Structure 1
Amino acid sequence: MTREKELILVVDDSPTNLAILNVVLREVYNVVTATNGPDALNLAASEEPDLIILDIMMPGMDGYEICDRLKANPFTKDIPVMFVTAMDQERQEAKGLAMGAVDYLAKPVSPPIVLARVRNQLELKKQRDFLRRLSSVDGLTGVANRRSFEEDFDKEWRRAARHQAPLTLLLADIDHLRAYNDAYGYLAGDDCLKMVAQAMAKSMMRPGDVIARYGGEEFVGLMPDTDAKGSTVVTDRLLNAVRSLALPHAHSDAAPIVTISIGVASCFPHRDNDRAGLFKLAGDALYAAKTAGRNQAKIIEFKAEKVSA
């Protein structure tokens, strides 16, 4: 999910301190606030901020405990945390940095210092995110790899469950790629994979939609906020994009050109759903598309409350 402005979560039990930091930051960034630990943890998980500015001294759950819980959660552990403190700086900085904080702001805060340090940390985060994205790209096709997809699938599942929104999963195979490799050679087969992958990726029009290589000639796609009916537009685009490549395939019984088969499954995730169940339904739909002659899509909409594997 892309944002026009970076999102910063500010956590402080003092309304005055929250107001000061909000005024300093809001001209440049989007800002959300929390006044206690539980709210901060919930917002961090649901909003996925780019940076958290966290006061140390708060009643109940202090900043150290919040930071510790953030770093223990695999979904929030990579969000950079900056502490705000008026305490003994050297001793508290050492403790906070050991817990995973990236920087400190001293009270009373100085607006130019706040903006400079926030900007520096967000730039560092952009660099880390860029390197992470590089490690998530399939080396042959240039689309996302399986590891990247698994991370996106988990993230979008949790987001859909929170917002009671639909989520659609698709599985796609290149029809008779083995026969293509036998007839035209494996180098041509690799070129075919690259062109099909890029054609599919360009057909996923929205920023949140994902296409990834799952293995061999298999691809997987994810469409947040999309139900079964909405997915037909995307599957038609994918099928036509690959057909438009017009790659000759004399040894396919589906068409004289390279084609794909697609299986699609949609549901409304919630905490008790099983993601593997949705994956199985998409696999069943893909099998149905192949059985029906390939070069087509089959869609399954799961309307019940739970998906069972």
Structure 2
Amino acid sequence: MLQYVIYADLNCPFCYAMQEQLHAMDLLEQVDWRLIEHAPDISVFNATPESQAELASEVFTVRSRAPQVQVALPPLRSDSRFAILCVIAAREIDEVKALDLLTNLYRALWIEGKDISSTAVIYDCIVEAGLPGELSIEESHELCLQNWQQQWERGSYNLRIPVLTTDNDERTLLGLPSQEHISAFFGGEQPPGPVGSFDQCHGRDQQTIAFYGHDGVQSIWNVIASVREDYNILLPASIQELRGMLNKPGETPDLILLNSINHWQQMLADTTEIVHQASENHTPVALVGDMLSDADEIKVYETGAADYLVKDRANGILKARIRTLLLLKRSHDLLERAARIDGLTQIYNRREFERSLEVEWLRGQRSKQPLSLIMLDVDHFKDYNDHYGHLTGDGCLQHVATAITESVKRAQDMVCRFGGEEFVVLLPETDQHGAEVLAEKIRKTVEDLAIAHAKSSAAECVTISLGIASLNPAENSSPRDLIQIADEALYKAKNNGRNCVAS
């Protein structure tokens, strides 16, 4: 048995970079590779702007942290399940050639940009590794993947990858470490720095299902049992507790399944109310029970319920129906997020800024408190893009957005991407002095990132220029005035040599 274990996914660039570093250090064969799916539903969401932005950010980080590793941004993050099963099957034939297949698949995706969910691509990688062109995928291989998946999910890794650990979990490296850390780890030493301090990928959070039955949940336990391994399960003790969950931001279940045996009419009435309450969060509500007549099933849909599940159907059918409802919920969430969030930087977009500005302006008119705005721009960003490339430019904007967000501590303050390399920070109940203090903090935080910028006349690293405006909405002015004053102050900062704050 190998002394070291690694949990990794083929479609994670951090895992790919780890594999390349171990390969370069001639350590690959000393590690038991346990491949898992860190985002099993990636094929559903890999084309969304959010997923693409996240992928670009991860590739940028790998290039920054492991510059010796060749990596390119693929068109999509491939589904990895079938490729993983092929690696598991190859291990039974030849361990060394299975590692070659692993390397081939990683490089096909992360260097050549190929789709490793394609059977043609997988076939080419298999043949190149010297393995039989037709690998037989058996049930035992599925069980092996399931076992590794459970080990990773139940480990103390917080659903992060890659994970390099000893076979007894005594020592662990979480994330993408440097070669120095890897050498120390394999040398039996505790690497310097806290565990988990390295760049890493995390699994998609499990969705949550709330089951409630007026007569308890024993009669639908087979339904709960069929999905309890795949989703978080909530069992509210009362209908009031279930309604309370819908009123708690961040704790709302993704799906509500209701059941009743002896209180059918009451359940229909409760369903109508819960559907109305859950609609604000686009949470689907469905009923579970015995086979119904067409007339009774129509009554279920008249409550607004999304579906009716017959509890005694085959587990595969129940799971498929539940998965469809949860995909509907996730799609609504993604659409709502896309309307408010900038796809690249993952902060609020201009549309959401303009909406919030109107709201805060009206609130300021009532409270007679000042409203401040910081408008900032990345210095010489066109030159940065031309010199380093657009992918690196995208990564730069992401790091700047993160630095701004980390500098802004109050919950009511709002960081938005205004357009291109321009950002705004909306500060309710903040006067000119308070805005100046925060603006200088943001400027210094971005400068401290020390992102090299060879084409800047302001500094040797990436910097920003900031303009400040502060008005009292209760006086004779408008939101447009606030934006115009901040914009004029920003140009003043640029004329003053950039990398400074002006008002």
Taking structure 2 as the reference length, what is the TM-score of the superposition? Answer: 0.36
Q: Percent identity?
A: 40
Say if 2:447 is the partner of 1:292: no
Q: How does 1:230-309 map to 2 (within 5 A)?
A: 230-270=434-474, 272-299=476-503
DSSP 3-state at the match of 1:135? helix
Name the aligned partner's letter for residue 175 of structure 1: D
- Counterpart residue number, 1:200: 404
What is the CA–CA distance in structure 2 between the aligned matches of 1:136 and 1:250, rounded to whole Å?
34
* In the alignment, structure 1 residue 141 sits paired with structure 2 residue 345: yes
Contact 2:447/2:463, CA 8 A, preserved across alignment: yes
Aligned AA for 2:375? L
Q: How far did residue 133 of structure 1 move?
A: 3.6
List aligned pairs for 1:97-176, cutoff 5 A.
120-127=275-282, 131-176=335-380
- Structure 2 CA distance for aligned equivalents of residues 264 and 209 of structure 1: 15
| Structure 2 residues not aligned, in runs of 5+ | 1-239, 250-266, 284-331
Return closer, same or farther for 1:114/1:263 CA change in 2, 3 Å cut-off.
farther
Residue 270 of structure 1, CA deviation: 2.6
Task: Note the C-alpha offset of 1:164.
Answer: 0.6
SS of match in other structure, 2:415:
strand
Instruction: Show the counterpart of 2:416.
Output: 212
How much has 1:120 moved relative to structure 2?
Answer: 4.7
CA shift at 1:291, angstroms?
Answer: 0.8
CA distance in 1, matches of 2:338, 2:344: 13
The aligned amino acid for 1:136 is: R
Tell me how far apart the structure 2 counterparts of residues 239 and 179 of structure 1 sit (CA, whole Å). Answer: 20
CA deviations over 1:219-278 (Å, ceiling 9, x no partner) = 111000101011122112211221121100111111110000000100110374221111
Query: In 2, Cα distance between the equivalents of 1:294 and 1:220?
Result: 17
Give the residue type in structure 1 aligned to 2:499: N
Over 3 Å counting, the alpha-carbon distance change for 1:288 and 1:206 in structure 2 is: same
Q: Using a 3 Å threshold, how does the CA distance of structure 1 residues 272 and 245 change in structure 2: closer, same or farther?
A: same
Shift of 1:170: 1.4
Cross-structure match for 1:190: 394
In the alignment, the residues of structure 1 paired with residue 349 and residue 356 of structure 2 have an alpha-carbon distance, to the nearest angstrom, of 11
- Give, as a single letter, the amino acid of the residue that structure 1 aligns with 2:281: K
- TM-superposition CA deviations, 1:185-208 (whole Å, max 9, x none): 111111111111121122221111
Give the letter aligned to residue 152 of structure 1.
S
Q: Larger RCO: Structure 1 or Structure 2 (Cα < 8 Å, ≥ 6 residues apart)? A: 1
* Distance in structure 1 (CA, Å) of the matches to 2:370 and 2:269: 39
Cα separation, 2, equivalents of 1:209 and 1:216: 21
Structure 2 counterpart SS, 1:278: helix
CA distance in 1, matches of 2:490, 2:337: 29
Aligned residue runs from structure 1 range 47-58, under 5 A: none
Q: Which runs of 5+ in 1 are unaligned?
A: 1-23, 30-49, 51-111, 300-309
User: Closer, same or farther in 2 for the Cα pair 1:202/1:114, shift >3 Å?
Assistant: farther
8 A contact 2:373–2:483 mirrored in 1: yes
CA distance in 1, matches of 2:282, 2:444: 36
Q: Cα distance 1:182–1:209, how it changes in 2: closer, same or farther (>3 A)?
A: same
Superimposed CA distance per residue, residues 121-161 of structure 1 (whole angstroms, 9 cap, x where no aligned partner):
34321338955344211111111111111101111111111
The one-character-per-residue Cα deviations of 1:82-131 (angstroms, maximum 9, x if unpaired) are xxxxxxxxxxxxxxxxxxxxxxxxxxxxxx99998666534321338955
Q: 2:384 maps to which residue? A: 180
| AA in 2 matched with 1:155 | V
Letter in 2 for 1:294: R
**SS of residue paired to 2:457:** coil
Q: 1:152 to 1:114 in 2, by over 3 A?
A: farther
Distance 1:149 1:202 in 2: 18
Give 4+ residue runs of structure 1 displaced > 4 Å after superposition.
Answer: 112-120, 128-131
2-structure distance, mates of 1:165, 1:115: 44
1:119 and 1:153 map into 2 onto residues whose CA distance is 33
| 1:221 counterpart SS class | strand
Q: Which TM-score applies when normalising by structure 1?
A: 0.57
Q: Distance in 1 between matches of 2:269 and 2:485?
A: 50
> Aligned pair count?
196
Distance 1:235 1:287 in 2: 15
In 1, Cα distance between equivalents of 2:452 and 2:269: 60
Q: How far, CA to CA, are the matches of 1:178 and 1:166 in structure 2? A: 35
Tell me the residue number matched to 1:224.
428
Between the aligned partners of 2:269 and 2:447, the Cα distance in structure 1 is 54
After superposition, the C-alpha distances for 1:45-66 in whole angstroms (9 at most, x for unaligned) are xxxxx9xxxxxxxxxxxxxxxx
